[in-house]
Structure formats: C-alpha cells, structure tokens
C-alpha cells in the first residue's frame, strides 16, 4: 500500500516535541547520528518551547548521507520512536535547519564554526573521534585521522581537526566567543576536548595569539549524557509507519529515560535546557560522568561481551541470563562503586535498580554488537582505574578481569577459538593491531600478555602481572568451558 512520506505539509503538529526551531541557527552539531537526534535535539526543542531563542541546529554528518538525505526529504522532521515495557509512542522533532556532509563540503564546516551567529558547537564524534592515546593521555598526532590535518585546514578531514581549524578561523574573523560542548561518553568530556583541540593546534604550530584567544573565548563545559539510543532498523520504520500513518525514513528509536548534567559555562548564551525533564546544571558534573561511565557504560560493556559470547543478540536477552546479572551486580558493588566519589545526595542503590530495569527493555531491543563496539576506546575509561584501585590494595578485581577477558575473546580471540556471529559484528578499530600484536603467541597467557603490555591499556595495569594472569585464566575458561563457566569462576562460584 502506498504510504505518504512525512514532511512539513502533513506533519501532525500535536505529536511535536517542544517547539519547531526558527530559521535562524545558533548551534552547529558535528557528527549527526542517533544520539544527538534523540538527546540534544530533543532537549533543544523543549527549551525553545519554554523560552524561544534562535537555536536552530546545523547538522554536520561526517561522511555518509544516510541520515541527512531522508531528513532533507522530510523538511528536517523525524520521529522519536519511544519504546519501553510501559508502551510505545511516536513524537516528532523539528529543530534542524541546515544539513550537510563534512567530506563533501569541508570549507562549510569551518565557516559554520566561525559564524558568529553560532553560539555553541556540540559534538557526538564517538570516543575514538578524540584520538586520545590510551597510554599517554595525549592526542595521537600521528594517527591517520589527525596527521593530515596538521599541515593546514585543507587537509583536515576528522571532526576534531575541523573543529580546531574552525576555532582558528573564528579567532581571525568575528572573534565572537563560543562554547564547544562534547556530548560523547567521556570522562571530563569538556576538559578532554579542550586538551585535544589545544594539542592539535600546538602540533600544527598555531601562533600564541590564537592560542590565547581560544583559551579566553572558547569554553568547554563538562557534561554527562544519558539515553539509550539504538540504531534504526526496518522494524523501527514499520512501527513508526503503523502509529503515524506516514513513512519516516529517518526515525530514531529510544528509551523513555533521559538525563543530561552540564556545567553552566557557556560563553555566548545557551538554550533554556533546564526546562527539559532530566536536564540539570551542576558543579559536580565530573562525579556524574564517573557514575554514568562506570555503572552504566562499564556494566554495559560487560553485559555485551558476556552476551556476545553466550549468543544473546540484544542487551535485554543477555541481562536476563542469571550469570550475566550476577556478574554485573558484583562488578557494580565490589568494583565500580567503591572507585567513585558520588555526587552530593546521590542514591546509588536507586540508580543501580533503575539501570537493571533499563537494561531489561525488550521493546527497545538494543543490540549487543552496538554496545560492544569500539571497546578499545571505551574500556580505557571503564576498567583500568577501578582495577588499579583494588590491585594496589592487594585485591583481585575479578569482574574487571572478566570484562577484559571477554572483550579479548570477542575481538582478539586466541588461535582456534571462534567467538561467534555477534562478536564478529562488533566494530573494533584496533582489530587488526590486536591481531598483529598477538600473532605467534604460544599460549593464552602469552596472548593476553601481548595485549596487556602492547599499548592497548595503561602501562601501570600491564605491569600488574597478577592481573594479566587472572585475565589469561578467565580467557582459558571461556575457550575451554564457555563464558558462563568463566563468569562463575570470577564470582568465586
Ligand atoms: N547511542 C547511545 O545510546 C548514546 C548514549 C550516550 C552517549 N552516546 C555518545 O554518542 C556517540 C555517538 O553515538 P550514536 O548512537 O549517535 O552513533 P552513530 O553511529 O549514530 O553516530 C556516530 C557519529 O560519529 C561519527 N564518527 C564515527 N567514527 C568517527 C571517528 N573516528 N571520528 C569522528 N567521528 C566519527 C559518525 O560519522 C556519526 O556521525 C557515542 O559514541 C557516545 O559517545 C551515545
Ligand atoms: O555509546 P558508546 O559507544 O559510548 O557505548 C555504548 C553504550 O553503552 C551507550 O551508547 C549507552 O547506550 C549510552 O551511553 C546510554 O546513555
């Protein structure tokens, strides 16, 4: 049956979230994908409903037209398919006013960042997009993404490089202050972005005046971001079509829960985001980031690798397995929570109970492979510190060792071990380097040692031979008796 496409002429306004943006744009977003569209964009629509403002968004895709072409066909409007055990709902977002692809129009990216009407540059460029070296903590100036941009703006293809040169252009033209707001899952997200941009410009030999201008006129607030937003599938589109009676080629599935905790350091104003449910401005953002990155994302990684190895295609199907739930519970209470300073008045037990509930969202069906992707960039912020804390007290962080062992089993399996289809679907930028590093390992212990001391984890963790021994032991059990046996061993059962 023919189904009309969603567009401005048939847009059911009663389903709109917040307000539509005016034509004037005030935000540039680098890395338009799933999360931005279900989080910052939604909160901006709600803020404009409360307080107005010229906060239309310029959305920049890195390379692909996969999202922006359907959005352009739909006059920028798209659906949020909210999925939860309590029910399904479709709401519409209408806040983007310009969309383009950085790879096709690189000069436009710099011009948009330099435009004084744009007061905020938001980012979702993934953890690996910051090119921060996991061992040194510095920008990887020789990486394939960063190196070509150091010679000048023409060679800048990576969003981080384009951001840096866009700020230089702004400093030479309008000199209008601006805020860069990272919305990626990163510890000290603002400080890290500032450090990577600064190191990039230093390596590019940018002059001191420009560096001082950036230091004084560009703020980089830290922020904790939270909403589980899986990828779009044909089923997402079919569900939207059934509810809306219109075809949307760019819908975003998302859970109902949403949270955003930000530092209120905006150099040139901001939307009234505090009007949106779940948004808080706080001076304790780094504590909130830690809580979220360890309890949610750290546990999420563990669920995904245990799930990947036990044939669970979705996070809820993995979480439903008793050994997975018990492992995550032990990771949280024995290893993650003691490593965190909680925000003032924070109810950790209520937060953990809510997490277990959110991970049970079968309607959302978040994919194990999505959550397990890019582990080499993500585990660095999730495992080493809690592990080192216990190791330095003479105790074994069994669940951190299990996380490392199950990640290795999925993306860098020892010779002869096939981790299965779900693990094969996990994207891992270091897959090739991991394979090179482990080539020729004579046994599981050597295999793990080559990873633990091969620059994939901080040196200090690799120096704890007893941790390497434990990871190797658990990996051996995964290979011989399966992941459930390894999880039970880690639990001491
Ligand atoms: N999806 C979620 O549930 C969720 C929740 C909280 C935070 N986040 C954060 O948002 C990020 C993006 O998630 P998403 O769901 O929007 O993913 P997505 O795949 O829909 O979009 C990712 C964006 O990052 C860009 N990107 C990918 N690799 C890059 C690289 N090497 N350098 C620069 N840019 C790169 C892509 O071009 C794309 O625009 C996550 O990595 C995470 O930090 C996601
Ligand atoms: O987005 P990543 O790649 O950092 O991590 C995968 C998931 O843990 C993550 O996307 C969560 O769903 C999200 O952080 C929830 O807010």
- Per DSSP, the three-state class of 267 is coil
How many Cβ atoms sit within 10 Å of the Cβ of residue 483?
28
Q: Express each pLDDT in 354-365 by its tens digit.
A: 999 999 999 999
| Dihedral class, residue 441 (left if φ above 0, else alpha if ψ from -120 to 50, else beta) | beta
Burial class (CB in 10 A: 0-12, 13-18, 19+), 258: buried
To which residue do tokens 């693990």 refer? 423
How far is the centre of ligand 2, averaged over its atoms, from the C-alpha of 269 (Å)? 28
Of 40, 297, 354, best ligand 2 pocket probe by most atoms within 8 Å of the beta carbon: 297
Q: Which helix (H) or strand (E) holds 435?
A: helix 431-438
Distance (angstroms) between ligand 2 centre and the Cα of 177 equals 31
Ligand nearest to C-alpha 189: 1
ipTM: 0.96
440 class by beta-carbon count within 10 Å (0-12 exposed, 13-18 middle, 19+ buried):
exposed
Helix (H, G, I), strand (E, B) or coil at 6: coil
CA of 284 to the centre of ligand 2 (A): 21
Alpha-carbon 420 to chain mean position: 25
For 179-202, give one letter per residue: b (16+ CB within 10 A) or e: bbbbbbbbbbbbebbbbbbbbbbe
Q: Quick check: CB of 371 below 6 Å from ligand 2? A: yes
- For the Cβ of 126 lying below 6 angstroms from any atom of ligand 1, the answer is yes
Q: Show the low-confidence residues of the chain (pLDDT under 50).
A: none
Q: How far apart are CA 364 and CA 356, in angstroms?
A: 14
Q: How many Cβ atoms are within 10 Å of 111's Cβ, its own excluded?
A: 16
Is the CB of 34 inside a 6 Å radius of any atom of ligand 1?
A: yes
pLDDT digits (tens, 9 = 90+) for 114-159: 999 999 999 999 999 999 998 889 999 999 999 999 999 999 999 9
Query: 184 CB less than 6 Å from ligand 1?
Result: yes
Query: Within the chain, what is the greatest distance between any pair of CA atoms?
Result: 67
Q: State CA 231 to chain mean position distance.
A: 13
Tell how far the Cα of 266 is from the centroid of ligand 2, in angstroms.
Answer: 25
Q: How far is the CA of 296 from the centre of ligand 1 (A)?
A: 17
Q: How far is the CA of 371 from the centre of ligand 2 (A)?
A: 6
Count other Cβ atoms within 10 Å, centred on residue 87: 9
Task: Tell whether ligand 1 has an atom less than 6 A from the beta carbon of residue 127.
Answer: yes
Answer yes or no: are the C-beta atoms of 355 and 309 closer than 8 Å. Answer: no
Question: Do 167 and 178 touch, CB atoms closer than 8 A?
Answer: yes
Report how far residue 141's alpha carbon sits from residue 129's, in angstroms, rounded to the nearest whole number.
13
Which residue carries 């990486």 as its tokens?
A: 143
Residues with Cβ within 8 Å of residue 180, at least 6 apart in sequence: 120, 121, 123, 163, 167, 190, 193, 194, 197, 218, 219, 220
Crossing angle of helices 444-452/398-411, nearest 10°?
Answer: 100
DSSP run (H or E) holding 162? helix 159-172
Distance (angstroms) between ligand 1 centre and the Cα of 39 equals 12
| 387-to-23, 152, 301, 325, 398 alpha-carbon distances in Å | 50, 41, 15, 20, 9
Bridge partners, residue 96, by sequence: 57
Question: What contacts 70, CB < 8 A, 6 or more positions away?
Answer: 78, 248, 249, 250
| Cβ of 297 less than 6 Å from ligand 2 | yes
Q: How many CB atoms lie within 10 A of CB 442?
A: 8
- Per DSSP, the three-state class of 226 is strand
**Cβ(292) to ligand 2 under 6 A?**
no
Distance 125 CA to ligand 1 centre (A): 5
The three-point CA angle 369-375-381 to 5° equals 135
Whether 118 is in the pocket of ligand 2, judged by its Cβ within 6 Å, is no
Q: Judge contact between 158 and 129, C-beta under 8 A.
A: yes
Give yes or no for a contact between 399 and 302, defined as CB atoms under 8 angstroms apart.
Answer: yes
CB hemisphere CA count around 389 (13 angstroms): 12
Q: Atom 4, ligand 2: which residue's CA is nearest?
A: 185
pLDDT for 1: 65
Q: How many residues does the chain have?
A: 493
Please, what are the domains in the chain?
A: 13-281 (3.40.50.720), 285-490 (1.10.1040.10)
């Amino acid at each position: 049956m023919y189904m009309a496409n969603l567009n401005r002429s048939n847009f059911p306004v009663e389903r709109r979230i917040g307000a539509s943006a005016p034509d004037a744009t005030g935000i540039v977003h680098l890395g338009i994908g799933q999360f931005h569209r279900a989080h910052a964009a939604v909160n901006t629509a709600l803020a404009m409903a409360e307080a107005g403002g010229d906060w239309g968004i310029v959305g920049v895709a890195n390379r692909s037209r996969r999202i922006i072409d359907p959005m352009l066909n739909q006059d920028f409007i798209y659906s949020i398919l909210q999925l939860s055990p309590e029910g399904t709902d479709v709401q519409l977002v209408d806040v983007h006013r310009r969309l383009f692809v950085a790879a096709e129009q690189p000069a436009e990216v710099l011009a948009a960042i330099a435009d004084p009407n744009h007061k905020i540059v938001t980012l979702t460029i993934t953890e690996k997009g910051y090119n921060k070296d996991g061992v040194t903590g510095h920008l990887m100036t020789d990486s394939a993404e960063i190196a070509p941009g150091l010679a000048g703006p023409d060679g800048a293809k990576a969003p981080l490089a384009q951001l840096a040169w866009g700020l230089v252009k702004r400093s030479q033209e309008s000199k209008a202050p601006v805020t860069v707001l990272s919305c990626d899952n990163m510890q000290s997200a603002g400080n890290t972005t500032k450090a990577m941009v600064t190191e990039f410009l230093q390596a590019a030999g940018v002059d001191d005046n420009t560096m001082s201008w950036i230091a004084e006129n560009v703020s980089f607030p830290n922020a904790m971001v939270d909403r589980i937003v899986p990828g779009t599938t044909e089923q997402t589109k079919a569900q939207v079509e059934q509810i809306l009676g219109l075809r949307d080629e760019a819908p975003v599935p998302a859970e109902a829960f949403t949270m955003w905790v930000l530092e209120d350091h905006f150099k040139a104003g901001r939307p009234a985001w505090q009007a949106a449910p779940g948004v808080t401005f706080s001076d304790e953002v780094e504590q909130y980031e830690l809580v979220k990155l360890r309890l949610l994302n750290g546990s999420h990684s563990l669920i995904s690798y245990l799930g990947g190895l036990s044939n669970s295609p979705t996070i809820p199907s993995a979480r439903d397995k008793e050994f997975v739930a018990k492992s995550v519970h032990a990771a949280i209470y024995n290893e993650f929570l003691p490593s965190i300073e909680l925000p003032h008045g924070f109810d950790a037990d209520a937060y953990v109970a809510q997490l277990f509930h959110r991970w049970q969202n079968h309607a959302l069906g978040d994919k194990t492979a999505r959550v397990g992707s890019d582990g080499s960039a993500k585990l660095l912020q999730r495992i080493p510190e809690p592990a080192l804390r216990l190791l330095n007290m003479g105790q074994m962080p069994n669940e951190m060792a299990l996380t490392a062992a199950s990640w290795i089993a999925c993306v860098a399996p020892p010779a002869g071990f096939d981790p299965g289809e779900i693990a094969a679907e996990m994207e891992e930028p270091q897959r090739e380097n991991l394979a090179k590093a482990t080539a020729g390992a004579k046994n599981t212990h050597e295999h793990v040692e080559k990873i633990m001391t091969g620059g994939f984890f901080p040196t200090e963790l690799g120096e704890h031979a007893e941790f390497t021994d434990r990871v190797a032991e658990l990996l051996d059990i995964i290979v011989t008796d399966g992941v459930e046996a390894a999880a039970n061993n880690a639990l001491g059962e």
